[in-house]
Amino acid sequence: MDEQTAVPFIDVTREVDLAARFPEAVIVDVRKEYEGYIVNRDRLIEVATAIRDELGYDYLSSVTGVDYLPDGVMEVVYHVYKMTGGPGLVFKTQTPRDEAVVPSLVPVYPGADLQEREAWDLLGIRFEGHPDLRRILMWEGFAGYPLRKDWQEAYFEEEGKPFKNRWPDGQVYRIEDKNPYENNVQYPADFIPEEYEPENDALLYDSLKRSIRGRDPELETDVVMVNMGPQHPSTHGVFRIAVALEGEKIVALKPVMGYLHRNHEKIGERNTFLQNMPYTDRLDYLSSLSNNFGYALAVEKLMNVRPPERAEYLRVIMAELTRISNHIFAIGTFLNDLGAYFTPALYAIKERELILDIFEATTGSRMMCNYFRFGGVTRDLPEGIAEKIHRLVYDRLPQKVDELDLYLTNNEIVRSRTEGVGVLTAEQAIAYSAAGPVLRASGVPYDIRRADPYSIYDRFEFDVAVRYHGDTYDRYLIRIDEMRQSLRILQQAIKDLPEGSIQEGKPQYQVRVPAGEAYGRVEGPKGELGYYVISNGKPNPWRYHVRAPSFINLTGYETMCVGNKVADVVAILGSIDIVLGETDR
């Protein structure tokens, strides 16, 4: 995003018909309940550049592949948005299944980097011109591309749930009893274990070496490669970082993930629509209720239902409480990463526990709430909980946020460790598809609740928190700001909470979802959380993809780190606030 963006004059408000603009290269997607355009893959880069520069869709939200097995094509789907707000644009490109090659859009939208790698890893779509096309969630050498529709896992039983009969002849069986290894494994017929040589990260180190930049020509030092993780207390789980160092200075960095890849999407495509709801809880397990929100929105779009008023309010209340509990925890662990060992985290967890109490009382679980249903929510607030929320958001939490602010914000160590460290400029943040607090701390006031409102967010008065330095300190401050704004929303929501039903129609276990595609996105605590769901009218989604902010925010991680000291790796990672369940899915 450098000189190219400086096109003379762009009228970004003008609607342009892409098919008319590129008559040979673009056609309108006319499949029923589909939207957007299908771009000829040979001219993809040209069209994408025009979409970015002429139409002003400067933010690539999500890239994913879809395997249309019956038609023998692979489709790559791009969702782009304008940073000035408003609805998005979808464009797709198709490629034959057995020779799946598509030009890489990394030169146009650098934010496609990790997402294209994921599509390569899981669907086997090769992105020509991608600077670093390696597997990302699985390891090099893993047999097959698991998200392809004809690929079957070792514990395969049936294409879709509910399974027919788990008790043949009155005997329950476990799936491992049917596997020859009595384990969740399968090997190709020609596999000889003694002769197998694992790849041992050669590709990773190659790529690390290639991306070394900013070396000091005066200094005669060796570049040292350091690995951190996957078992390291400050990676917030099982995340690995490979860094190249010159002295203490970072000259290259590669995140390595997949250690918690739980095959969310493959399982999700075998599940029924409703069965996926509890799985979304386990994506970003610190904010399960916002995860429910996005998925419910996507499927509701397909089903064309809207929840009743009270349910909308309950959703907003729960989502905003989640945001506070997430941010307060994030600040606690971030301080941990800075070396303020555990004391701030204990203060943070104390407040989080109070919010968890509300979740437990309402939904039945502290963390895995499984609260949203298509067209409603599962339970109403039990007695006394509304008052409890009232007290919390009017009295206790505002005070506690101020307290955190008072203790931490001007702490000398915090400031000197974070100010000016890990800078991401506004242009970079947009280009790398950063989302949520990371984007807004870089000076881009983009918040989906305002820019493209969903649910009933257009009724509340709140400000979009924004900070302008893009450094680690601002990414800390913005979370404090956001908690205050969430409290404002909560105060209004709990005051206006209407009476009424909480579910449109009857609650159903098996919902009928008409065929079509939908993309539902919410402003989760970590950033834009999107669900891309395709239904073909069957009980299971044909495609179920999660646009995970924790994952995509890592695209700019190397840029933030290079030039800083090795100790800052941890601080910067803490300020991005990733959760591995969502990063790896």
Partner 1 sequence: MNEMKRENIESTKYDIPPELQGQVEITTIDKIYNWGRRSSIWPLMFGLACCAIEMICTAASRYDFARFGMEVMRPSPRQADLMIVAGTVTKKMIPTIVRLYNQMPEPKYVVAMGACASGGGPFKEGYNVVSGVDRYVPVDVYIAGCPPTPQALIHGLITLQRKIDAQSIKKVRWYRKEPIEAVPIPVLGPDVVDPHQYAIIHEQAKKLHEEAVNQAAETAPAETA
Binding region for partner 1 (CB under 8 A)? 137-139, 141-143, 146, 153-157, 175-176, 180-181, 183-194, 196, 198, 230-233, 237-238, 258-264, 266-267, 270, 278-279, 282, 285-286, 345-346, 349-350, 353, 366-368, 580-581
Q: How far is the CB of 164 from partner 1 (least distance, A)?
A: 16
As a whole number of angstroms, the distance between CA 234 and CA 241 comes to 11
Q: How far is the CB of 192 from partner 1 (least distance, A)?
A: 8
**136 with 146: CB under 8 angstroms?**
no
Q: How far is the CB of 494 from partner 1 (least distance, A)?
A: 24
**Closer by beta carbon to partner 1, 269 or else 300:** 269
**Closer by beta carbon to partner 1, 126 or else 366:** 366
**Closer by beta carbon to partner 1, 184 or else 304:** 184
As a whole number of angstroms, the distance between CA 363 and CA 183 comes to 35
Three-state DSSP state, 393: helix
Cβ atoms within 10 Å, residue 475 = 30
**63 with 119: CB under 8 angstroms?**
yes
As a whole number of angstroms, the distance between CA 41 and CA 358 comes to 50
Residue 496 identity (one-letter amino acid): D
As a whole number of angstroms, the distance between CA 299 and CA 518 comes to 7
**Closer by beta carbon to partner 1, 16 or else 354:** 354
Query: What backbone torsions phi and psi does residue 151 show, to the nearest 5 degrees?
Result: -90, 130
**Closer by beta carbon to partner 1, 284 or else 481:** 284
**Closer by beta carbon to partner 1, 349 or else 515:** 349
53: DSSP letter: H
**Closer by beta carbon to partner 1, 451 or else 580:** 580
Q: How far is the CB of 145 from partner 1 (least distance, A)?
A: 11
Tokens of 497: 């909470």
Q: How far is the CB of 262 from partner 1 (least distance, A)?
A: 4
Q: How far is the CB of 114 from partner 1 (least distance, A)?
A: 17
Sheet containing 59-68: give its strands across: 26-28, 37-39, 89-96, 73-81, 59-68
As a whole number of angstroms, the distance between CA 361 and CA 382 comes to 7
Q: How far is the CB of 230 from partner 1 (least distance, A)?
A: 6
Q: How far is the CB of 385 from partner 1 (least distance, A)?
A: 19
What is the CA 518 to chain-centroid distance, rounded?
A: 16
Q: How far is the CB of 461 from partner 1 (least distance, A)?
A: 33
**259 with 487: CB under 8 angstroms?**
no
Cβ-count burial of 253 within 10 angstroms (0-12 exposed, 13-18 middle, 19+ buried)? buried
> E-strand spans in 84-207?
89-96, 101-103, 126-128
Q: How far is the CB of 340 from partner 1 (least distance, A)?
A: 15
As a whole number of angstroms, the distance between CA 436 and CA 553 comes to 9
Q: How far is the CB of 65 from partner 1 (least distance, A)?
A: 17
**Closer by beta carbon to partner 1, 183 or else 221:** 183
HEC states along 437-469? Answer: HHHHCCCCCCCHHHHCCCCCHHHCCCCCCCCCC
**Closer by beta carbon to partner 1, 163 or else 468:** 163
**52 with 2: CB under 8 angstroms?**
no
As a whole number of angstroms, the distance between CA 246 and CA 226 comes to 11
**Closer by beta carbon to partner 1, 153 or else 309:** 153
CA-closest candidate to residue 266, choices 97, 152, 140, 138: 152
Q: How far is the CB of 199 from partner 1 (least distance, A)?
A: 8
Query: What backbone torsions phi and psi does residue 265 show, to the nearest 5 degrees?
Result: -75, -40
Q: How far is the CB of 294 from partner 1 (least distance, A)?
A: 18
**Closer by beta carbon to partner 1, 261 or else 547:** 261
> Which residues on neighbouring strands pair with residue 67, listed in sequence order?
74
**Closer by beta carbon to partner 1, 279 or else 334:** 279
DSSP 207-231: HHHHT-----TT----EEEEEE-SS
**Closer by beta carbon to partner 1, 61 or else 288:** 288
C-alpha atoms less than 13 angstroms from C-alpha of 95 in its C-beta half-sphere: 23
As a whole number of angstroms, the distance between CA 511 and CA 446 comes to 34
